[in-house]
Structure 1
Amino acid sequence: MNEQDLRQLLTASVEDVLPSQPASAGWDRARRKRRARRAAGGVVLAVALVGGGTVAALRPPADPPPNHSVAPTPTVVPTHPGPVQHPPAELTFPPDPLARLSGPATVPLSERPVQRALALFQPTDEENRADGPVRVLGNDGVVRSLDVVTLAPTRDASYNEAPAVKPGVLSPDGKSAAFAQTKELVIVDLTTAEVRRIPLDGYLELVVWANDRVLVGSEDRTYAVDLATGTASTIDVSTWAVVAPDPAAGREAPLVELIGERSSLKLRTRTAREATIRSEERITGDALPSPYQVNEFYGRGWLHGGRLASAAWITNDEIDGAEGAAVLDARTGAVVHVLDLGRERSKGCCEVLGWDNKGSVLLRLEPAALARWNPETGEITGIIRDLRGVLAVAG
């Protein structure tokens, strides 16, 4: 700032005598103040620039600024396994509530009913005969013995016997169990330990829960038992072929059957109440690589939304008649996934037991393992390592 600028600044700051002509004097005073402020601002800016340059010149060289750039996150592409999948050579067995069934019962059901059962288990010997009391696993993790009823083996007209516990006897909500017995259906309320007996004619072997009814029958007849009234009527559907309905589908959801073999395999739908045939779709394996195909289904099939899972005998790239499991589109009959279990397993080894609530299929794997298969990811893990007997899980 030079001497003239300082003089003008001091003159403007100390001026306190009113001039004789206020208007013109005010404009002059304002002009002087603006010039003084511009001059002062220029001085301040010059000092700042000079000072900053000096400091910068004297400052020692700094380390290069840290690099905070983030490496691009690799895109995780979800795996889409092919339509044919295989189990791993060795199953892993992460902790699972169902594994408690491998231990003995610790309390009778009559003393401690369940709020909800997760599964029932009937131990069997090497000849598939009942070998000990039925175990009831509650959602509290406690294993109970079914002590309120004595179950006889089921029989057919040729006196072939099988354990009374079979896949499908436990209600989807885990609160009741229904057992086919000769000339009667036995229903146990697992939450109260009460037993109902509904007389029916003939040899009865298989049970399927169908919302507010229980389907029970043998090769020559099937009864539909109304759970509210206990009344029974015959229905034109086979308990050997009918698929367990999805419990979320509602009481009027159609009944589905898997029938035929090889090129004549069909998915048949019937009305829920009268069992009138609504449609038949040919089961196709167009999505499977050659020579894969489903030859025949066995055991109980299970619906879960638009998917249907069942054990099957298949043709693979080695033999005709390998063990496997299949997942179908329940609307079109198209086979969308096949689990190839190979040729080294016993015939009928690997029955499907249902779906879990995450979309995985539960199935038996010989010699006595229970496994979980997610057909959408191809992941297969063990649930129970060694459990010889018959298992029924809640839906």
Structure 2
Amino acid sequence: MKEEDLARLLAVATEDIRPTHPASAGWERARRTRRNRRAAGAAAVAVVLLTGGTAVALRPADRPSPITPATPTASPVPSAAPVQRPPEQLTYPGDPLARLGDPVSASLSARPVRQALALYQPVDPGTGVEGRIRVLGDDGLVRDLDVVTPAKTRDADGNAAVPLKSSSLSPDGRTAAFAQTDEVIVVDLTTATVRHYPLKGYLEHVLWSGDRLFVGDNDTTYEVDRGTGAAREVSVSPWDVISPDPSVRTDTVLTLGGAPESLTLGRYTQSAAGTDRSSWPLDFRALPSGNRVDEFYGRGWQRGDQVARAGWLTTGSMSGLEGVAVLNAETGVVTRLLDLGRDRWKACCEVLGWDRDGALLLRHDPGGLLRWQPSTGAVTGVVRDLHGEVSLAAG
């Protein structure tokens, strides 16, 4: 018998014989079945992916999603009306400056301040008699300014006024200045020390520009070097000089004022190259027709590209209204008016400066302080019944 025939015979003979290890054989068949199924499944998935990928590749591309421009983290500021009015009833949400009316609890000489929030000189509304100047520190304590007693300011005609002015306190709250006849007094509130700088004239005006100090009488404005006491004349009206933004060092002085019907914004720069002076009329076209400023009073204050100053307004057909104007410091365009109405004591509503949030602080009779946010129109009370003069560490 050939070898091939023997192999065929053995194969036929063993076809019906069960395996000696049936469990092992069963597991082997199961493994083969699972392996075959996995292979088939993988093939099917590959076909689906290939088909889908081909379809995606052949399908026209969707338009890309629009890109949203980056927005500031702060919420957008609503655009308020150009002519605004306070609410009938003011709210007083609480403010550190409300402690200006607290009684004196220490003397400055005994407890100098780290920083003053405000100066306050009370004046009796009935008699007109003024009290001593007080210092409100950032610790909330009210101190008596005991290291010096400035006299009343006087003009050439003998008219007198209390020595504390709205711009007496430096923007950093560390120094105070008081105009006097033939001198200016400078007090370091952090050390309770006093310096006297001699100057000529019936001096009434003081204001700060960073470390620079401007002092003036009716006709002349001086710039005083605090280190040496040296002074030079600056040819601008001391009544109309704007308190500059304390965060910006500049040699330019802005003025705002003029007679009714000819109000102007001026710019004055004095340098080694000479003097540069320019001015242009105020522009009221951004306001509704019939709204304007007739005359300014009090100190004007700059913050960035904005200037604010109190004055008498005309809104619609009514004139002689007390109010505040905000204008662009570069163009002279008046952008906002705050209408505070009539029948108030004259020059009731002097601006005292800007706060860090871009709101204006101003006087409000009888004897109160207001906070006005021109960008939103919000007006809230700060303190009631504060009769007298106030100077804030604001700019």
TM-score range for the pair, normalised by the shorter chain length: 0.7 to 0.9
**Structure with greater proportional strand content:** 2
- 1:227-376 equivalent positions in 2, closer than 5 A: 227-250=226-249, 252-271=250-269, 276-376=275-375
**How far apart are 1:285 and its partner, in Å?**
0.9
The equivalent residue for 2:44 is none
Matches within 5 A, 1:1-395: 13-14=24-25, 33-35=31-33, 79-126=78-125, 129-250=128-249, 252-271=250-269, 276-395=275-394
Q: Counterpart amino acid of 2:184?
A: L
Aligned-partner residue type, residue 349 of structure 2: C
Task: Report the CA distance shift for 1:317/1:186 in structure 2 as closer, same or farther (over 3 A).
Answer: same
TM-score (norm 2): 0.81
Cα offsets for 1:209-251 (capped at 9, x unmatched): 122221111112121110121111222112101000111111x
Amino acid at match of 2:120: F
Shift of 1:151: 1.2
Kindly tell me the number of residue pairs found equivalent between the two proteins.
Answer: 341
Residues 124-183 of structure 1: CA distance to partner in whole angstroms, max 9, x if unpaired? 123784522111000111100000111111000110011000110001110010000111
SS in 1 for 2:201: coil
Q: Which amino acid letter does the alignment assign opposite residue 110 of structure 2?
A: E
Partner AA of 1:34 in structure 2: R
Deviation of 1:273 (Å): 5.1
Superposition deviation, residue 78 in structure 1? 5.2
Q: 1:78 to 1:307 in 2, by over 3 A?
A: closer
- The alpha-carbon deviation at position 343 of structure 1 amounts to 1.3
Residues in 2 aligned to 1:267 and 1:39: alpha-carbon distance in whole angstroms: 89
Give how far 1:15 is off. 7.8
Q: Secondary structure in 1 aligned to 2:139?
A: coil
Equivalent position SS for 2:261:
helix
The 1:146/1:317 distance shift into structure 2, 3 A limit, reads same
Structure 2, unaligned runs of 5 or more: 1-17, 39-74
SS at match of 1:100: helix
SS of the residue 1:99 aligns to: helix
RMSD between superposed Cα atoms in Å: 2.6
| Structure 1 residue 14, shift from structure 2 partner | 2.8
Deviation at 1:261, TM superposition (A): 3.3
Corresponding residue SS for 1:247? coil
- Counterpart AA for 2:294: N
Secondary structure of the corresponding residue to residue 242 of structure 2: coil
Deviations 1:330-358 (A, max 9, x none): 11000011001111222211000000011
Identity in percent: 50
Deviations 1:289-326 (A, max 9, x none): 12111111111000001111110111012422211101
1:280 CA displacement: 1.5
Q: Could you tell which deviates more after superposition, 228-237 or 154-163?
A: 228-237
In the superposition, the TM-score normalised over structure 1's length comes to 0.81
- Structure 2 CA distance for partners of 1:372 and 1:13, relative to 1, 3 Å: same
CA distance in 1, matches of 2:127, 2:280: 36
Unaligned runs of 5+ in 1: 1-6, 17-28, 41-75
